[in-house]
Amino acid sequence: MRAFFTSLLANRKASIGAGIVAFFLALAVFGPLVAPAGPNQRVGRPHEAPSATHLMGTTRMGRDVLAQTIHGTRTSLLVGLSAGLMITAIGTVVGVTAGYLGGRVDEALNLITNVVLVIPNLPLMLVLAAFIGAASPATIALIIAGTAWGWGARVTRAQTQSLRNRDYIHAAELLGEPTWRILACELLPNLVSIIGFNFIGSVLYAVVTEATLEFLGLGDALKVSWGTMLYNAQTTSALQVGAWWEVACPCLALVLFGSGLSLINFAMDEVANPRLRTLRLKLRAMA
Amino acid sequence: MSFLLRRAGFYVVAFVVAAIFNFLLPRLMPGNPVDIMFAQAGTVLPPESLEALKATFGFVDGPWPVQFGRYLASVFTFDLGLSVRFHPLTVNAVLMQALPWTLLLVLTSSLIAFLLGSALGIRAAWRRGGAFDSFGAPAALMIQAVPPLVTSLVALFVLSIRLKWLPTGYAWAPELDPGFTPAFIGSVLVHAALPILTLVVAQIGGYLVTMRNSMINLLGEDYITLATAKGLSDGRVRYAYAARNALLPTVTSFAMTLGATFGGALITEIVFNYPGLGYTLYQGITARDYPLIQGQLMLMTLAMLTANFAADLLCLALDPRLRRA
């Protein structure tokens, strides 16, 4: 475990990725302190090009693009992290339970997992979001978590099954350890790296998906986030009138944050058990 | 054979689950489901069409099993009701008008990304640790982290708005009449180029990395060493021995990621005003056209199941072990 983290820290890709992610986390926490203006404050004329006073220009409504992006970081990251956490939690509980208990329970859980996997996510989320109406960021996080836990559960189940028949698990069973203790103290530590992959991939997926749903007009357009910024830019035809800066800043934030997470994932893959390589399938499914 | 039967049974279950979602959601919302779903429709549709539409969604007198039975019957006969936004067309007619355009984008881009990505992945794995591999594999992962939304916005701005190389939207030049004329087909291809390019960029990294990883895992196997020792040519070992087996995970993931590809196509179409499912759906969402939004879930699920079934058949062809199991 210790060696895993030591070699992870020595990896250059990992440190660059961690640096990027840390930067955005800091921006989410302290952003409102350093932002040049409030998120909904009119500071200039509509669609002013980038200049010294407005580093990334202004929107159609005369709001500072950079300031909006900085304020939006908090919402986007909050949704990403909370949805990522929920996806990982559901996936881990379902995967470990199915993989360890086997039999009927496994069959039932596996069927549910496969159904979740095969029903296309975005169309399903569109139906959910359309009925809910202007969905708040918290609702969006719940919708994302409820529809996207399938991959994590499948991979965790497979790994649990392969650990299930190791000698040390049998030994623990013969010693009479209670099931919860075997799950929590014997199995879970050996699943840490797979859970880590699941978490990072899920956060990336959630941030992108939130932006996509809001871009489609299914979010609450008054809450400033990267997605609603793109939605407002699209509805005011910012690109068509040449105001590229209104789109550039949130796009850059999405790409940079995503690259940071992928770098960490890639480095973890290099360090960890080569058997875990299949997890890349998960990342690509989310692309 | 039992393998296929098991899969077919699973697909029916998955389809019914998607239908249950559509049936339950309006009934779970606070308030009267009929009001929620048909608020827009009431102002657009004549009363008798509205009654027919309600019946399609199971809003009939009787206990809920009867209502659900009615709904399932309409779903399995693919009667998805009337569209509100595109009145007087049925949801079916609206979806079928849009579907070919989306299929054109999804299938062409998937095929290009699959062939190109797998070929590059094979190359990277064959010389693993080499210059191409150590640059290509991380680069592929980085590209994957870029959402299709961003790729299409950038492509639209740089290639169509600034450089004016390619059109900014629509599926063909409006002055042409649709038909099998060289001018029309050419126009369709030019208009499809940007959306397809965007979707290829979104998918190619995944195929490259999956292929590379499963190739690398296989290259250590004894039968590869044996094939080399027998003096088979490099190309034979690479393609007929390693790549054929390495393709299996790719084929399975091909079907699984089709949902994501459809999702990406929806976004791309909206950015490029391309008249496929995504753009139609976008108009439906803005008008809160619930029958259309629900209909697309059934259609997309059906598309996913069909693709998975095709992947099952392909796996069966590639892997003789499945035939015996």
Q: Which residues contact A22 (CB under 8 A, 6 or more apart)?
A: none
Whether residue B176 has pLDDT greater than 90: no
Q: What is the DSSP letter of B221?
A: S
Closest chain A residue to B265, measured at CA: A122
The first and second tokens of residue B102, run together, are 């989306």
Q: What is the DSSP letter of B181?
A: -
Superfamily of domain A2-27+66-286: MetI-like (1.10.3720.10)
8 Å CB contact of B25 and A127 = yes
Higher pLDDT, B281 or A283: B281
The lowest-confidence range among A119-128, B24-33, B117-126 is B24-33
pLDDT at A278: 39
Q: Is A63 helix (H, G, I), strand (E, B) or coil?
A: strand
The first and second tokens of residue B89, run together, are 């067309």
Whether residue A279 has pLDDT greater than 60: no
Question: What ipTM was assigned to the predicted interfaces of this complex?
Answer: 0.80
Contact B281, B95 (CB under 8 A): no
Mean pLDDT of the residues in chain B = 81
Could you give the residue ranges of the DSSP H alpha helices within B145-172? 148-155
Q: What are B279-283's contacts with CB under 8 Å, separation 24+? A: B279/B98, B280/B86, B280/B94, B280/B95, B280/B97, B280/B98, B281/A126, B282/A216, B282/A217, B283/B85, B283/B86
Closest listed residue to residue B18, CA positions, set A78, A239, A120: A120
CA dist list (Å): B150 to A253, A255, A258, B113: 10, 8, 12, 18
Per residue in B295-316, pLDDT tens?
888 888 888 888 888 888 887 8
Q: Is A133 helix (H, G, I), strand (E, B) or coil?
A: coil
Write phi, then psi, for B90 (nearest 5 degrees): -80, 160
- B147 vs chain A: nearest CA distance in angstroms? 6
Contact B141, A13 (CB under 8 A): no
Q: What percent of chain A has pLDDT over 70?
A: 90
Contact A282, B253 (CB under 8 A): no
pLDDT at A86: 96
Rounded to whole angstroms, how far apart are CA atoms B246 and A199? 27
- Number of Cβ within a 10 Å radius of residue B130: 12
Spans of all domains in chain A: 2-27+66-286
Task: Report residue B61's pLDDT band, with 50, 70 and 90 as the boundaries.
Answer: confident
8 Å CB contact of B145 and A120 = no
Whether residue A280 has pLDDT greater than 50: no
Top residue of A131, A207, A237, A273 to mutate, by most chain B CBs within 10 Å, is A131
Whether residue A273 has pLDDT greater than 60: no
Closest listed residue to residue A210, CA positions, set A199, A218, A198: A218
Q: Is B292 helix (H, G, I), strand (E, B) or coil?
A: helix
Top residue of B7, B11, B84, B150 to mutate, by most chain A CBs within 10 Å, is B150
Closest listed residue to residue A255, CA positions, set B154, B230, B297, B42: B154
Whether residue A112 has pLDDT greater than 80: yes
Whether residue B39 has pLDDT greater than 60: yes
Task: Report residue B1's pLDDT band, with 50, 70 and 90 as the boundaries.
Answer: low
Rounded to whole angstroms, how far apart are CA atoms B23 and B298? 12
Task: Report residue A286's pLDDT band, with 50, 70 and 90 as the boundaries.
Answer: very low
User: Which among A259, A266, A285 is the nearest to B256, CB-wise?
Assistant: A285
pLDDT at A7: 63
Quick one: average pLDDT of B64-79? 81
- B164 vs chain A: nearest CA distance in angstroms? 12
The first and second tokens of residue B132, run together, are 């191409």
User: Which among A115, A212, A284 is the nearest to B267, CB-wise?
Assistant: A212
Per residue in B132-173, pLDDT tens?
877 877 788 778 778 888 888 888 888 777 777 777 777 666
Task: Report residue A5's pLDDT band, with 50, 70 and 90 as the boundaries.
Answer: low
- B178 vs chain A: nearest CA distance in angstroms? 27
Window A:73-112, CB contacts with B under 8 Å:
111
**A278 and B CB contact within 8 Å:** yes
Window A:216-235, CB contacts with B under 8 Å:
216-218, 230, 234
The distance of Cα A43 from the centroid of its chain, to the nearest Å, equals 32
pTM recorded for the entire structure: 0.84
**Domain architecture of chain B: domains with CATH:** 1-77 (no CATH), 92-323 (1.10.3720.10)
Whether residue A285 has pLDDT greater than 60: no
